[in-house]
A and B are shown apart, each in its own frame.
Chain A
Amino acid sequence: MNKTIISFVTSIVLSVSFSAFSKTKVTWSMESNADRDPIFLEKLQNAYNSAQDNYELEIQFEPNETRIESLRTSMLAGMGPDIVETPGPSYVKEYQEAGMLENLDSYAAEFGWKDKLIPWAYSSGVFEGSLYAIPKTHESMVMLYNKTLFEENGWTVPTTREELEDVAAKIKAKGMDVYTYGSSGWQPTHEHLVGIYLNNYAGPEAVYEAITGEREWTDPVFIEALELLKKHMVNEGWWSGSLENYYAIGWDDFHAQFATRGAAMMTIGTWTFQATSLGIGASDDEWGWAPLPSLSSNSTGPNFMIAIGTTMSVNAAAKNKDGAIDVLNWIMSNKDVVIDIASDFEFGEFVVPLLLDESDIPSSISPQVTSYLNEYARITGEGNYGYCTWTFWPAEPGVHIWKDMEVVWAGDISVEDFMTDHQKMWDKARKKNETLPVPLRD
């Protein structure tokens, strides 16, 4: 009897040990964020590890400030994590050109990834005809406003430039800033505003033509767009009261300003939803969102700028390539996992661009976010979408558009000269084959 028990226990211990030790490790270097990391550990890493017996996913968190550089160094050394996370397509392009990423075409065909993802998002990872990256999150720019404040004052949410300038004057008359926003801690914030004005003044069609080389960036319509931005930013101080304040204000500051009625509106990306819900959501005021107003007759009706926040690829030198593919496939095959994690972030992060139905959106998220998701799907589905600079601009013009915009705002160069320089950079990028994938426009 004793022998039977001993052999039974031994066999269980051995089988458990075997399954534990037989799992091969899959590594993923992920951008760290104190609020998000525990959720990714529990609902992604641990959930994946419990769901199968072949691989052990290990997520290594590191702040992006250092992670991007350490990733590049390790990749150059032929090392690096199995799953390569980058801040966007311009980084993917560099790695892909260097032959450091695995071609995912055969896996995409085997597992039917193309049918699971939103078409434009899938094509954002296609370089030189092959798939190299899957978006980890996609996003857009919106206008947030203090709904309670608007109702109290009888203000209308603007949809056109005239309405916007009218409500801006009323907001300023009340002693508040029109928008709260700032670039302290993240200088590329300027590109959010540049993108808004290019897409909502010149119109998405014109931006598409410029990105694809059918139109020059020196076209008067783009110059007018940036002149208008300069007027609103510098002359009228719409963002945080003045250009200097806009430069001095960071993430926590502008959320606090929005929550305490320091400003009536905010131009920001959808990654803010969680912070907004926690910020103004904690006050007595209710917040609302709206598509960014059309700023000229070139931009008819609401549109949403499309963007990829982060991408996932497989390291060509991965120690566990099969494991990395399995993790990506598991994510794309488990809509519930993605929705669950994205819901914890109010659909501001880990919004893997899977094709979702209205019924997929959980009731646990804010009604504002629910309405945004439905509107975003409807409007972009109708083909009304624009282009965010950090997803569709090659590296050098992508930096120029925000870094040198300060020179325009300072009055050191004219918008015309700025756009002439910008066109030269695009020409150079085109010559060096550095342009990024752009989904075909209907």
Chain B
Amino acid sequence: MNFLSNKSYIAWYFVIPVVFIHLFVIGIPSILSLALCLTDWSGLGKINYVGFENFIELFDDRYFKKAIFHNILWTIIFLTVPVCIALMCAYLLTGIKRGQMFYRLAFFFPYMLASVVNCQIWKYLFHPIHGLGGFFESIGIEALASSPFTTKDTSLYAAAFVDGWHFWGFLVVIYLTGMYQVDNHLYEAADIEGASKFQKFRYITLPMIRPIFIFSLMIIIIWSVPVFDYVYILTGGGPAYSSEVVANYLYTHAFVRFNVGYASAVGTLMFFYVIFIVGIFGLLRRLGWEI
């Protein structure tokens, strides 16, 4: 009884419902999924144990390798383009006294829209008949007449652009929050020393927001693994696997090709990759990094 009324356990009691929900919705299916990667289950019917056959096939699968490469590319794009733009805009916004809220709202607005809405807007915009494609064709610029989402050389970058366009506003908001935490006296001292705007950013702002900045990089790396919705809606992974990413590849195998065992093997590798990334950040924290 004392155990139940012990105040130090109260927080645990409140967490129990969430733990149970997570256990049933995420925990058990995840464990089952890990088990399925060693089977040839179609999603229905009999389950046959096949050992590591799915993994052997996977490491020989050229489209899976292509999907991994695209995920790496996606991660690099997101670690650079939106981060740089968001850092710059957030820093510039700190200098704006009037109308700052308007900019913050404008930047953040795409993040509030559903991915399917964002995607449809850009698909219509680049539509070859009704969109800019038709316009460019009518003025004789044939190179821009086709939709970048359906062109093999541009499809991945086009999908990443739309996702990045929706995402960078979110980064602006979290960087801005970090920048407002910086002690103003540091900037005043720098002004007395005659530091330029860039020097203040480089030597005061960036070091002071480092925990938030590193956190943003971590979530970008983790979120780049299961990237799915923008690719699925805009390109479906095509044309010719040119924008195929691992999550879309998993989806196709699980729900279109009736290859749940194989898809589970893909999911298992994704799981271990995320654990690895989180582990690295955990290790850095233990080594004293402020993240």
Name A residues whose Cβ lies closer than 8 Å to a Cβ of B: 68-69, 72, 75-76, 90, 94-95, 97-100, 184, 187, 240-245, 247-249, 253, 257, 262, 395-396, 399, 403, 406-407, 409-410, 412
Contacts and interface: CB of A to CB of B under 8 A. Distances in A.
A99 B45 contact: yes
Contacts of B43: 72, 94
A248 B150 contact: yes
Interface in B240-257: 240-242, 252, 255-257
Contact of A412 (B123, B146, B240, B257): B240
Interface of A is mostly: helix
A406 B126 CA distance: 21
Interface string B71-102: 00000000000000000000000000000000
B178 interface: no
A75 B42 CA distance: 14
A248 B239 CA distance: 10
Interface residues of B, number: 30
Considering the complex of A and B, which 9 residue pairs feature the smallest CB-CB distances, nearest first? A98-B45, A410-B240, A247-B150, A244-B146, A98-B44, A406-B240, A248-B147, A248-B150, A395-B258
Contact of B127 (A95, A241, A248): A248
Contacts of A407: 240-241
A95 B42 CA distance: 10
A248 B152 CA distance: 12
Nearest to A394: B258
A76 B150 contact: no
Nearest to B255: A69
Nearest to B130: A253
A75 B129 CA distance: 43
B46 A410 contact: no
Contacts of A409: 239-240
Nearest to B154: A244
B128 A100 contact: no
A240 B133 CA distance: 13
Contacts of B242: 410
A248 B128 contact: yes
B226 interface: no
A244 B146 CA distance: 6
A72 B42 CA distance: 11
Given A242-B146, A396-B257, A403-B252, A98 B46 contact: yes
Nearest to B151: A244
Contacts of B228: none
B236 interface: yes
A407 B240 CA distance: 4
B259 interface: yes
Nearest to B152: A410
Contacts of A97: 42, 44-46
Contacts of A94: 42-45, 258
B149 interface: yes
Contacts of B241: 406-407
A72 B127 CA distance: 35
Contact of B239 (A69, A90, A247): A247
Query: Which of B42, B147, B239 gathers most chain A CB within 10 Å?
Result: B239
Contacts of A100: 44-45
Contacts of B133: 248
Contacts of B252: 399, 403
Contact of A245 (B42, B146, B240, B259): B146
Contacts of B44: 72, 75-76, 94-95, 97-98, 100
B42 A410 contact: no
Nearest to B48: A432
A244 B240 contact: no
B128 A245 contact: yes
Contacts of A253: 127, 129-130
A424 to B, nearest CB: 12
B144 to A, nearest CB: 11
B174 to A, nearest CB: 33
Given A97-B44, A396-B259, 18 more contacts: A72-B43, A76-B44, A90-B258, A95-B44, A99-B45, A100-B45, A241-B128, A242-B146, A248-B128, A248-B133, A253-B129, A253-B130, A396-B258, A399-B257, A406-B239, A406-B240, A407-B241, A409-B240
A395 B129 contact: no
Contacts of A98: 44-46
Contacts of A249: 128-129
A399 B256 contact: yes
A249 B129 CA distance: 8
A425 to B, nearest CB: 10
Contacts of B126: 248
A245 B149 CA distance: 10
A207 B91 CA distance: 65
26 contacts: A69-B255, A72-B43, A72-B44, A76-B44, A90-B258, A94-B43, A94-B44, A97-B42, A98-B44, A100-B45, A187-B238, A241-B128, A242-B146, A243-B239, A245-B146, A248-B128, A248-B149, A249-B128, A253-B129, A262-B129, A395-B42, A395-B258, A396-B257, A396-B259, A403-B252, A409-B240
Interface in B130-147: 130, 133, 146-147
B255 A244 contact: no
Contacts of B152: 410
A72 B254 CA distance: 12
A262 B46 CA distance: 51
A303 B94 CA distance: 71
Query: Which of A99, A241, A403 gathers most chain B CB within 10 Å?
Result: A403
A412 B240 CA distance: 8
Nearest to A68: B255
A333 to B, nearest CB: 31
B121 to A, nearest CB: 15
B138 to A, nearest CB: 13
A75 B43 CA distance: 11
Nearest to B44: A98
B227 to A, nearest CB: 19
